[in-house]
Amino acid sequence: MKTIKVSFNINNEDVALDVRPYETLLETLRERLFLTGAKEACGLGACGACTVVVNGIPLRSCLVLTPEVEGATITTVEGLREDGKLHPLQETFMEKGAVQCGFCTSGMIMTAKALLDRKKKPTKKEIVTTISSNICRCTGYKKIVEAVEEAAKRMATA
């Protein structure tokens, strides 16, 4: 079968892979790189469970073909921990009870991370609008919004 060579940086590591031309980034992450934080739920770009950050932009990895990320810098939820310490969003999601089944959590966190990376003090409305692109069937969103607000505070004072 024809394959395409693709190189990119993921979670601060350079990788080079031979992939199928129509292979999605979500498949590559989960099945080749064993990074299973990004989840497949709808597989259609509707739920956000598969969100990862590509060149600073949160993207639905089920809609991205891996050959499209040639040369990109990608962060997944597995890459958020630094020096053995969880990212503030990971801490506050746990502390605020913003995780129930957890299926949406990595996508929510990566969507929120991209927001906090570009805006240090987002308003509540900006947080709500941003995470409204991700579906959570469990939490009712209130605790997720509180977790993002608290993480923003901690990151601003760090």
Examine residue 111 and tell whether it contacts ligand FES (CB under 6 A): no
Residue matched to tokens 């605790």: 143
Report d(CA 129, CA 123) in Å as an integer. Answer: 10
Q: Please tell me whether residue 50 binds ligand FES under the rule CB under 6 A.
A: yes
Q: Do residues 90 and 112 touch, judged by C-beta distance below 8 A?
A: no
From the list 1-9, 42-50, 64-72, 112-120, the region that binds ligand FES by CB under 6 A is 42-50
Which of 6, 28, 60, 145 is in the footprint of ligand FES by CB under 6 A?
60
- CA angle, corner 106, sides to 101 and 112, nearest 5? 120
Residue 47 in the binding site for ligand FES (CB under 6 A): yes
Residue in 37, 106, 139, 151 binding ligand FES, rule: CB under 6 A: 139
Burial of 44 (0-12, 13-18, 19+ CB in 10 A): exposed
Q: Is 145 in the site for ligand FES (CB under 6 A)?
A: no
Binding footprint of ligand FES on the chain (CB under 6 A) = 40-43, 45-50, 60, 62, 99-105, 136-139
